[in-house]
Amino acid sequence: MARYVDVHPQDPQPRSVAQVAAMLRDDALIAYPTDSGYALGCHLDSRTGPDRIRRIRALDDKHHFTLVCADFAQLGQLVQLDNSAFRAVKAVTPGPYTFILPATKEVPRRLAHPRKKTVGVRIPDHPFVSALLRELGEPLLSSTLLLPGEEVLTDGWSIKERLDAVVEAVVDAGESVTEPTTVVDFSSGAPEVVRVGSGDPSRFE
């Protein structure tokens, strides 16, 4: 049974944040709110988390996982950014965008795309996520919570009912946005919008 963690939407309680971080360090898989809907998250070193996310979402091994970062400095250690990508990404972060970029050697090989050697990265603009990343001191391995063939789930209790047996915790921080991130692929040099979501795609078109 998943633990239900109710946190303040603007000022998340430090004790609750610390509890969730401790669960992640203990190989838990969580459902948590972001600035672009709910996501599934696990510790960067989790051996079980990526496969569990794939099973929940019915994904293949070519799925781009996202490394959720606390700030731009952390993001820059994980991906390779040329000058134009650097300026474009920095201009819209933190915010509801995911960027696909070539991974650096800091990213475990098993988390990068098997052929392209790329990875998704983002910096959310959400009080709970920011507090959790500060507590963890490292990025969170994540994937948008989109169940096969279903609408986006935005209510914490509904998510707990649906995922009670397959995650260890569901975090609720009040009303959640319904749209996932806008995904921009920089892996070929020029930006390509591969999913239109809650972030304005016109900046990259």
Return mean pLDDT, the chain: 92
> 152-196, pLDDT tens digit by residue?
778 899 999 999 999 999 999 987 777 889 999 999 888 999 999
Maximum alpha-carbon separation in the chain: 47
What are the structural domains of the chain? Answer: 3-204 (3.90.870.10)
pLDDT band at 113, cuts 50/70/90? confident
Please report where in the chains the tokens 């696990």 appear, as a residue. 42
Q: Provide the whole-model pTM.
A: 0.93
- CA angle centred on 138, ends 107 and 35, rounded to 5°: 100
Kind plus residue range of the DSSP H or E element containing 119: strand 118-122
